[in-house]
Amino acid sequence: MLPAPSALADRKRLTFSWPSNAGPLHPHLYSPNQMYAHSMLYEPLVRYGEGGQILPALATAWAMEADGRAWRFTLRRDVRFSDGTPFDAAAVVANVDAMLGNRARHAWLELVNQIEGAEALDPGTVRLRLAKPYYPTLLELSLPRPLRFASPAALRPDGSLAAPIGTGPWVLAETSRGQHDLFRRNEGYWGEQPALREVLVRVLGDSNARALALETGEIDLIYGTDQVDADTFRRFTADARFTTAISPPIGTRLLALNSARFPTDDLAVRQAIAQAVDRAALVRHILLDTEPAAETLFAETFPYVGLGLRAPAFDGAAAAARLDAAGWRRPAGGRVRMRDGQELALDMCFTGTDALQKAISEAVQGDLSRIGIAVRLVGEDASTYVGRQRSGDFGMIFGDTWGAPYDPHAFMSSMRAPSHADFQAQRGLPMKAEIDRRIGAVLISTEEAQRAAEYRWLLTTLHEQAVYFPVSFLTNKVVHRPALGRVPFGDTRNDIPFAQIGRG
């Protein structure tokens, strides 16, 4: 048993909570590995900073070669992994080779498709070779995965990991399935040491349990997008015992509509849904204004997306008229529209334990019923829900964009991967092959004007095809007691800046 929590100042331990364990923390792999923990243990060559700056991390300098098909990185000296293994060009090459050994798993990320290999020019210099010039190279090198670095001593020949050993400011000291993960400060860290000595992450899958744990002092901090519901966050904001804060937008909360499945394979149905759901009411009554309403797939602060696109105004009568014109009629005395003997009914899928998704689903169901669309709510366990995203077995399903540094390029790159809900939602579009081709083209474009034009076509087409219903722009919410001091927001959605907490 771990000792009971006490004041942060007394023991230099921060107790946090998360819905699941951190996972095995292989830096080149995905679920169940949690990205906040990846960023605690593993570091990239370059990092994404405020305002979209690319800043030094394990590399101190970098330069693109003249033809754009290779980058040279000067590595930081005197860095060691937490097991004492030196970080050098050979370690970078070993990690790149291991990641490329599982290239198909990373096909959603175009940089992996473009990498031909890495070579050590000398212990402090590495050269990354690309098949073609690739403009988002530095952005994708800064991602939490899969291009971060584990100790070569921990990398097995088959690509598996003997232990989660990185160069970051934390080490994983202990894990107890379903109970907690304990991270300790890396005493050999090359950079500024965290003020905290330990971060204990308790596994609390329920937002109500998380809120109660904060009130009773069992945890010190709540941080994230949906770690507590909006009503609880508002209650904490009004309570002088706690400090709360809301980040700027970090991504988009959305619904994906399946263009390859009846009845959302009909553009008129998708367009009617876009008009009939009251977005402002969702933000006001369910999200309680903790997130701004979203009318576009990406916030216009991201590159190439400030196109002036706007969602249709909420207008149930116009939505009903659109369905009438498309041949969807209410039978005498009936509530659900029909065409050619088929009901206008669809499945709306959500994670059954997610109270926010459930509340939004019920509101959408109510709005659509008023124009004659029947919505069957399908709430299931997380693994089944993810399976539906991958298989396309949904009418509407929740999703979100990933924020910086993914949006828009990396998120759009993933639209070409059949295992993603976005691919499945777009699969029925008559121009799907053209969408995928243009995504590939924009990522390797070298002319700025051409790149902007391609993004304009892609984003305008997806907007007009009504494949997405943007709900709101996601924000991170922070709740803690004032004694914890200043808790900054990370530069990206998944970066929780534990190393900065407690520095004053």
Question: Do 125 and 205 have their domain in common?
Answer: no
Biggest CA pair distance of the chain: 79
The one-character DSSP state at 482 is G
What is the spatial distance between Cα 72 and Cα 68, in angstroms, rounded to a whole number?
11
Give the chain's length. 504
User: Could you tell me which residues come within 8 angstroms of residue 92 by beta carbon, excluding any fewer than 6 positions away?
Assistant: 45, 73, 75, 118, 120, 126, 149
Residue 117 CB neighbour total at 10 angstroms: 12
Question: Do 131 and 231 have their domain in common?
Answer: no
Question: Do 364 and 289 have their domain in common?
Answer: yes
pTM: 0.91
Residue 50 CB neighbour total at 10 angstroms: 9
The domain that holds 96 is classified in CATH as: 3.90.76.10
Q: Does 301 have pLDDT greater than 90?
A: no
User: Stretch 459-481: mean pLDDT, rounded?
Assistant: 97
| Residue 248 burial (10 A CB sphere; 0-12, 13-18, 19+) | exposed
Question: Do 202 and 259 have their domain in common?
Answer: no
Question: Do 91 and 80 have their domain in common?
Answer: yes
User: How far apart, in Å, are the Cα atoms of 474 and each of 26, 244, 277, 339, 403?
Assistant: 27, 16, 19, 37, 9
Is 185 part of any domain?
yes
Q: Which domain covers residue 179, as residue numbers?
A: 8-22+168-247+477-500
* The two structure tokens encoding residue 230: 């909006």
Is 438 part of any domain?
yes
pLDDT tens string 434-453: 999 999 999 999 999 999 99
User: Stretch 370-398: mean pLDDT, rounded?
Assistant: 95
User: Could you tell me which residues come within 8 angstroms of residue 241 by beta carbon, excluding any fewer than 6 positions away?
Assistant: 481
pLDDT at 11: 53
Question: Do 198 and 288 have their domain in common?
Answer: no
User: Could you tell me which residues come within 8 angstroms of residue 230 by beta carbon, excluding any fewer than 6 positions away?
Assistant: 286, 287, 288, 290, 356
**What is the number of domains present in the chain?**
3
Is 158 part of any domain?
no
Question: Do 256 and 136 have their domain in common?
Answer: no
The domain that holds 352 is classified in CATH as: 3.10.105.10
pLDDT tens string 54-105: 999 999 999 999 999 999 999 999 999 999 999 999 999 999 999 999 999 9
Question: Do 485 and 419 have their domain in common?
Answer: no
